[in-house]
Amino acid sequence: MDVETFWGTVHTRELVTSLQRMHHVLLKDNPALKPLFDWLKVLGVQNVGQVKPWSELLAGHLEEIRFNRELKWYVNHEDWAIVFHNMAPFAGDFASGVKEYLNLFYLAMYSPRGRVY
């Protein structure tokens, strides 16, 4: 699946099982995301729970996307991948959710004082 974001066109690789769908955003497929992967690694972020201590506002926005799109995410720093997966079987709006998550990360990285409006 290709998604248009503030980072440009982002390519995902889909993995589907009988109950779960996942879309992997790999750095090797999306070299424009290198600053994002570096930023998440420096902050030590692997999921939304690790965002809360340093940005309640960003964590709130991430939780809103999770609830509205029924998608969770985690970062696999070893494989340079961000993995988006559905919360309930046969649910999840991947096209909108992946786009919203990546755009929110972009805004958090490049906005003054890391503030997301």
User: pLDDT digit string (tens) for 74-111?
Assistant: 999 999 999 999 987 777 889 999 999 999 999 988 87
Query: 3-class DSSP state for residue 19?
Result: coil
In this prediction, residue 112 carries a pLDDT of: 67
DSSP letter assigned to residue 46: S
Cα–Cα distances in angstroms (integers) from residue 113 to residues 41, 55, 56, 108, in the given order:
19, 11, 13, 9
Tell me the helices (H) and strands (E) count for the chain, helix number first: 3, 6
Q: Domain locations in the chain?
A: 21-111
List pLDDT tens digits, range 35-62.
999 999 998 889 888 887 767 888 889 9
What per-residue string of b and e applies to 78-94 under the rule 16 or more CB within 10 Å gives b? Answer: eebbbbbbbeeeeebeb
In this prediction, residue 56 carries a pLDDT of: 82
In this prediction, residue 55 carries a pLDDT of: 79
List pLDDT tens digits, range 7-30.
999 999 999 888 889 999 999 999
* HEC string for 74-90: EEECCCCEEEEEECCCC
